[in-house]
Amino acid sequence: MRDYALFVPEYIAAGWAVLVIAIELFWPKVRKDTLAYVTAAGALAWAVSALFYIGNEPESFQGLIQSDNFTTYFRLLAAGIVAAVSIMSANYLRDRTKTAGEYFGLLLVAGCATVYMAAATELITAYISLELLSFCLYILVGYLKRDNLSSEAALKYILLGAFSSAMLLYGMSLLYGIAGSTSYEGISQGLAARDQGGTDAGIVVAFMLILAGVGFKVSAAPFHMWAPDAYQGAPLPITALLSTLSKAAGFALILRLFSLAFVVDAVEWRWAFATLAAVTMTAGNLLALQQKNLKRLVAYSSIGQVGYMLVTIAAIGYGDATVGVNATSGLLVHIVGYVVSTLALFTALTAYYNKTGDDTIVGLRGLAETQPFLAVVITASFFSFAGLPFFAGFTTKLLMFQGATTDELLWVIGLAVLNSFISLYYYLMIVRQMYLFDPIPGMVRFRINPVMWVMSAGLMLGVLLIGIYPGPAFKAAENAAKPLFQQAEPGVAARQP
């Protein structure tokens, strides 16, 4: 049966996107910040409708897309991100462009694409969802077309995006040739039925190509080089979108793909994830030390964070289904902690940028005097990234590594702890700028938009809440993780060397 009702929340989001564009089309004089709040309301409606899907039995649409708790988890996450980013953009866009309808419409579409990446259970669907997200992001990154950096960033992003998409497609074709199916379940069966003797060079090549494609999406080293340039050039709220929505979407796709389709041949790819994790976290953190621009610094620090997250994917490969559930729920809850901290940071940075137009690290000098509240929010989110206790990052990272610990991965986790020390240095350098230095001459105390104030306060409270009382968030993540492994278990057991 074709159950079109499975994706009602996304109809709302997509419909709202059209609505937002239409509003501006027929009423060009509409205030751009009004459009932002309309979009946020749409995202909220989307989230509310998604609430009805919590706990529903997993149901598949034609074996292509699956609606289950995992999908719903990302629905709520994507809706939240879109709402936050559109509110963040309200004044930013009003001051910089004359047309904003497409911008907000694309935000909602990007959110839908994320959900489909989480829901896809078939290669072509997954690929199209990924491209849908990418195209939204290409446009959004280059939205300030009179800004040279913005255009350059978009161009680089498109070129490299196309390049890695090609790799992904090539990998998928090879895989189809080997497994004889494009559905995740079919691939899993096809791989299991293969001749057991020796290694098939084709399958290694296929996996590595796919790895490069999805690794590009989450900006894992050495596929990360676009990220700093794109982050720096993009409008500030879109930088927030890149480091939250795009990464969450990438991990959603990786999680379902690797835990469902590829887990049978885990032995062929798990070491690669461990290696990538180690390389990514080290490269991200070392390079972050050298940055002078805030957006670039956040880009590298988020690359470092991705390194930590990749450990869990390796853990899925090394462990059994129990480890898989634990590692996945750890990763899911950490994504939430990371997203909330990042959004808090960017809300504060955008509020600050709207006033000063400065995105260098030294520009934050003396912020504790000119705008103490923003300084507190920024400090809280950096403490969360660095993993200091009582902040979200500490608790969720602890949960993640606890779930992902297997004997083979201890070395990576040790390296992650070492990297956390390094990261503390550059986070504290910024905190030092804000608290220990006098403001730049001429800077006086300024006020910020009350909406931004409320949002940053709320997000900061979220950071603390997750840090101190992670129980409910972890429970939700655990429920979201279960469907992935319930299906894998009865099918075929992982082949061990």
Q: Which residues bind another protein (CB under 8 A)?
A: 156, 159-160, 163-164, 167, 199, 201, 204-205, 207-209, 211-212, 215-216, 222-223, 225-226, 228-229, 268-269, 271-272, 275, 283, 286-290, 326, 399, 402-403, 422, 425, 469-471, 474-475
Q: What is the smallest separation between the CB atom of 112 and another protein, expressed in angstroms? A: 28
Q: What is the smallest separation between the CB atom of 274 and another protein, expressed in angstroms? A: 12
Q: What is the smallest separation between the CB atom of 285 and another protein, expressed in angstroms? A: 8
Nearer to another protein, 18 or 289 (CB): 289
Q: Are 374 and 448 in contact (CB under 8 A)?
A: yes
Nearer to another protein, 88 or 287 (CB): 287
Q: What is the smallest separation between the CB atom of 263 and another protein, expressed in angstroms? A: 17
Task: Please report which helix (H) or strand (E) contains residue 66, including its range.
Answer: strand 65-67
Q: What is the smallest separation between the CB atom of 435 and another protein, expressed in angstroms? A: 21
How far apart, in whole angstroms, are the C-alpha atoms of residue 230 and residue 156? Answer: 7
* Strands 65-67 and 59-61, sheet pairing: antiparallel
Nearer to another protein, 23 or 204 (CB): 204
Q: What is the smallest separation between the CB atom of 448 and another protein, expressed in angstroms? A: 18
Q: What is the smallest separation between the CB atom of 200 and another protein, expressed in angstroms? A: 9
How far apart, in whole angstroms, are the C-alpha atoms of residue 490 and residue 266? Answer: 17
Q: What is the smallest separation between the CB atom of 275 and another protein, expressed in angstroms? A: 8
Nearer to another protein, 80 or 161 (CB): 161
Q: Which residues contact 262 (CB under 8 A, 6 or more apart)?
A: 187, 188, 191, 207, 269
How far apart, in whole angstroms, are the C-alpha atoms of residue 224 and residue 283? Answer: 10
What are the beta bridge partners of residue 122? 183
Nearer to another protein, 357 or 471 (CB): 471
Nearer to another protein, 54 or 208 (CB): 208
Tally the C-alpha atoms within 13 A of residue 19's C-alpha that lie toward its C-beta: 15
∠141-146-150 over CA atoms, to 5°?
25
Nearer to another protein, 91 or 406 (CB): 406
Structure letter (DSSP) for residue 290: T
Cis-peptide, bond into residue 58, ω within 30° of zero: no
Q: In the 3-class helix/strand/coil scheme, how is 134-183 assigned residue by residue?
A: HHHHHHHHCCCCCCHHHHHHHHHHHHHHHHHHHHHHHHHHHHHHHHCCCE
Token digits for 471? 């129980």
Nearer to another protein, 125 or 326 (CB): 326
